[in-house]
Structure 1
Amino acid sequence: MLTVPVSKSKEEKQMRGPTPARESKSFKPERMPITHFLATFEELEGNEYVLHPALFPTEQEKLASLQTRQGLKQSVEDGWFDTTVGDWDEGAVTEKAVEKGSMTAGRNIMAMDCEMCQTEGETFELTRISLVAWDGSVILDELVKPDKPITNYLTA
């Protein structure tokens, strides 16, 4: 008696589980270069990201960007770092590399996450920085103590 399964009601018998997702007829299983997933210049600029000098095609635009960064205290002199890529095209993945099956085309791909807090004077400051490699291994995970007292940990 204890090992007999409970019989299903008519409603339970009529219920069906989830059906597998249908593939769109327009779906094409193609490899995408990693650079396809990067934000465009316009998206970065529109969201007020600090822009790398390599994104600007002319020396005049690079200089104007540098002056803007200096005014915002976001330059190398203020503790910021720029990678050594001199031109945006140096980071482009060739079609030949993608065709060979390489998603990253021999590059070291990392993801960065920064946790911020609010400090005295309602300014936002870094409290934690994490870097993770393409394979998921942790490269850096450090807590950062702001100079000013923390007023809000921004956890909610």
Structure 2
Amino acid sequence: MAEITPSLSIGQVAERTGLSVHALRFYEREGLFIDPVRRDAGGRRVYREDDVDWLTVCIILRASGMPLPVLRRYTDLVRAGAGNAEERLTLMREHQALVATQIDRLTESLDLIKFKVGVYEDLVDEGDTAAHQCHAPSPAADEERAPVLRHEATVD
């Protein structure tokens, strides 16, 4: 007996993935589904759980900054099946390096933001009466704020 796969409407897939109906149609036009999107007798799109699973991968890769052409290439490789693991590995390693660089930049940004928060907390504690110029942290500023930073570290 053939296994019955429950089908999902475009609205249901949009709700489950967080993508808009427009975005789902765009993904289809861009060739970002592993299998062609099926249609019912009335011509409406019909999706399977596998489509939702694949869209979840696509959403995560896009959120990590993977450009559409790279995602399209990855989709093509997956669609082609076995025999291209080396190319998939290269593609993922390249993207991994880009994401690691993004994380480093975000960490630097977070460090600066934490410094600024500390400066403004000090100003608020002092009643905002200090005429203080707030620029990027310097080693001298770090030493000056060291007692506060140590205190904050113990509060965590």
Query: TM-score if structure 1 supplies the norm length?
Result: 0.25
**If each structure's strand is expressed as a fraction of its own residues, which one has the higher value?**
1
Task: Name the structure where helix makes up a greater proportion of residues.
Answer: 2
